Amino acid sequence: MTTIPRVVGMVHLLPLPGSPRHVSMGDVLGAAVEDADVLVDAGFGALLVENFGDSPFWADTVPPETVAAMTVAVETIRRSHPVAIGVNVLRNDVVSALAVAAATGAVFVRVNVLTGTMYTDQGPLVGRAAEVARRRAFLCPDVEIWADVMVKHATPPPETDVAQVAHDTVTRGLADAVIVTGGATGSTPDLERLSVVRGAVPAGTPVVVGSGADSSNLASFMTVADSVIVGSSLKHDGDPRNRVDRDRARRFIETATGLGLL
């Protein structure tokens, strides 16, 4: 990408084949296309596709059936909508995300932990930046890596410094953009932490809000950040497990347009 998208809408996939609550790929694809339709119709020019329904998640390497199903889902969405698409393979399988991107033409991947270690309900997640950088160079050198800094649903080691993590994620992990979130899905990140990350990364590095954005706080976030990924606040009743609400999506885009983001 030559210009980072200012607003990115989330497509949370239903449980995929092999995960405990999977029903059918027909259901997965139907819901994914329905949500993508609503988001694109509202005015979103970029989407992030994630295997949100697959909990409990594998820590690092997902099985082949997950990669296959995500490839089908991303390609199905891409054929319907010529917008920028990103891939996130939960919990931290960025190598598989790069494979999906290489096969489908997705333009960025999200990685929860690129450098260092975070402690999660999946156990320790350890960054694999060396492998990720080499696999990207081999498979899809133009695909961007958007990396979380002290990702949500996780606890850092004692005395971890967020500024150092942010700086290392870019300068040593080679992330193209960094993501700041609240503590959990849909929770609002701290503006002070967002500002610390902004000041810690090299000039020109995009900073992305990765959770908690809605029409009421978008203006304050975008005084510091370059982009926002929005999911939960666009769903019916604000519940990330629900389908995208057309009215909520339109209101968000109206707010973004009013702020000059689109």
pLDDT digits (tens, 9 = 90+) for 225-250: 999 999 999 999 999 999 999 999 99
* pLDDT bucket at 25, cuts 50 / 70 / 90: very high
Mean pLDDT on 200-224: 96
Residue 42 lies in a domain: yes
- At 3 the pLDDT is 74
Q: Is residue 2 part of a domain?
A: no
Characterize the bridge pairing of strands 123-126 and 117-120.
Answer: antiparallel
Residues forming beta bridges with residue 145, ordered by sequence position: 109
DSSP bridge partners of 211: none
Domain hosting residue 167, numbered range: 7-257
Tokens in use for 16? 């995929």
123 confidence band (pLDDT: 50, 70, 90): very high
- Alpha carbon 82 to chain centroid, angstroms: 19
| Res 69: pLDDT | 98
- Domain-located, residue 262: no
In a domain, 1, yes or no: no
* Per-residue pLDDT, 1: 61
Task: Answer yes or no: is 54 within a domain.
Answer: yes
88 falls within a domain: yes
Compute the average pLDDT of residues 98-119: 97
CA 190 to the chain's CA centroid: 18
Instruction: Give the mean pLDDT of the chain.
Output: 96
Cβ-contact 168, 25 below 8 angstroms: no
Reading phi first (left if > 0) and then psi (alpha if -120 to 50, else beta), residue 183 is in alpha
Model confidence pLDDT, tens digit, residues 62-105:
999 999 999 999 999 999 998 999 999 999 999 999 999 999 99
251 in a structural domain: yes
Number of domains in the chain: 1
Residue 29, number of CB atoms within 10 A of its CB: 17
- How many degrees, rounded to 5, is the angle at CA 216 between CA 210 and CA 219? 70
CA–CA dist 64, 130 (Å, integer) = 22
pLDDT, mean of residues 12-22: 97
Structure tokens at 131: 């492998």
Alpha-carbon span 254 to 184, nearest angstrom: 26
For 158-185, what is each residue's pLDDT tens digit?
Answer: 999 999 999 999 999 999 999 999 888 8
- Residue 26 above 90 pLDDT? yes
Q: Indicate yes or no: pTM above 0.85.
A: yes
**For range 29-43, the mean pLDDT:** 98
Output the pLDDT for position 184: 86
Rounded percentage of the chain residues whose pLDDT exceeds 70: 99
- Contact indicator for 5, 45 with CB cutoff of 8 Å: yes
Q: What was the pLDDT predicted at 4?
A: 86
Q: How confident is the model at residue 210 (pLDDT cuts 50, 70, 90)?
A: very high
- Look at residue 61 and tell me if it is in a domain: yes
Q: How does DSSP classify residue 167? A: H
Q: Is the pLDDT of residue 2 over 80?
A: no
CATH number at 59 reads 3.20.20.70
